[in-house]
Structure 1
């Protein structure tokens, strides 16, 4: 099963030459490139801070389980065990910071100056040998499917693992110097999103050890399906350029977006409770609670051509960026409260969709 990523990055053959070169270098030598990237942009304490945030998000998600009225107590207990068992990989794999170990990984891959086509062919051969060498061997628990500079994140249900590369632990998602409200609204929601994938319409079918088996009681399975109808209809009623979205196709990502926002906000409130209220940013005229939601929304600022938007509606399991924001925060009681939305306003519908 393909891991659930946080965002879908589109590329095309008309990209500038430098982008093609960087992309191909990352594909072939991503972990060697990652070592340079990490040393240049990613302080060691950023990794520690991010790992602490993951723990806070996980606590928030698990604490909310007790309020999930549609799930039976036995399945709730198993769900908490699965959340506890999620293996977190943050920043980068340790081996890339050891030059001897890193050299050993690429020892059989020879790069020739100024011979692009030959380098590509040699990489294909090298990659095939590495893949064949892994056959019938015990899976490596610490093997990454993304390189450290990648601006993305993923959850892998067959390993019950969550991976957050150093590339996404940068602005606009995260900065050590930013208020916690912005960091929880940015990277905190990403963390919550990936964690919630363990309990979306596909991820929930895998147990805490990554085995595909029925571990929910039938009553909770049926209740889950009933609850998801709300999101299918909600997102199916959105349209972009007069083209309706497919709420069924994007269900898993919509569940993750909604669950991620809720867990991240709960974690932020708990952080404030333990550490005290932060000073507000000057000149904005916003509370920190409002800043949390603005931090979440701003990471989805984007522009797409009509053709690209159409392609996304057809192929992308994520909703378009606009509706990843609107759909999620319109389901948030906390958003409506802190922005003073009137009852039944477009961003504060009477009936809100909620799973986790």
Structure 2
């Protein structure tokens, strides 16, 4: 496995920002209850992003470039970016899951891996706007620090805050941005995806209620360490645990040096936590299950011995369709899992 940059590991959990139940409990506030972030007046276009930065343009942006996960979310709401950066193409030429449904044959690639951003290609696209999520405050995900000044000179940028926000709120935020960019949120595919998300949430909630003893832990690995997800900092896990009732085993606090998100364990201490099921980071840059199998302590974990290892989609796009698929898969996997392996 290629080394995962340390800064990337800080946000490895990036996968869901949750908080508000889509199928019961506290309802998410309707978009209309929030102050408008965008307006089109006299042909001009404005948007206030999650850095508090107000963008004003003479017309609605037409040529949007977006980080792969942001591009995937916008695509599901009906926006078609002209360029993407961040993971979107696999080594075999196929589409990386992180870019969702985006047709990678119809968008320009500005960069495909961490630290790669071709400023010249970006400028040649004549972009009106760049969109990226933010796990670190005011820091656009996958825009290299050394490229920020040049990127800012070419076109305005919009940041969407991902950490510290509820999952449903983040999905709605992308929806409102897509609408401001001309998407129709009443279109059948969007409405169908939202209903699918609500149904998937309800199904996972029922499973959690029916299987209260089923415990789940979420991890990612590097050759030197096992990272155990800290639930409060991962919106998807927080949604599943706090809103839907899934029993998630997690540290009491994250390792301070990671800035949240994880407790970092040496492989010798990989048995500190145990659960019936382990969800393993499925991203291409993360350590594979076959590689983890070579670690003796990992091999002895009850869930590993029972073969109850399933994927965790840590960089899923924040759209109804994206998380509907994730929860459908998760429910299917958990439904067939035993809930007594830790006791053996």
**Global fold match (TM > 0.5):** no
Where is the helix percentage greater, Structure 1 or Structure 2?
1
**Short-chain TM bin:** under 0.3
Higher normalized contact order (CA 8 Å, seq sep 6+, divided by chain length): 2
Where is the strand percentage greater, Structure 1 or Structure 2?
2
TM norm structure 1: 0.25
TM norm structure 2: 0.26
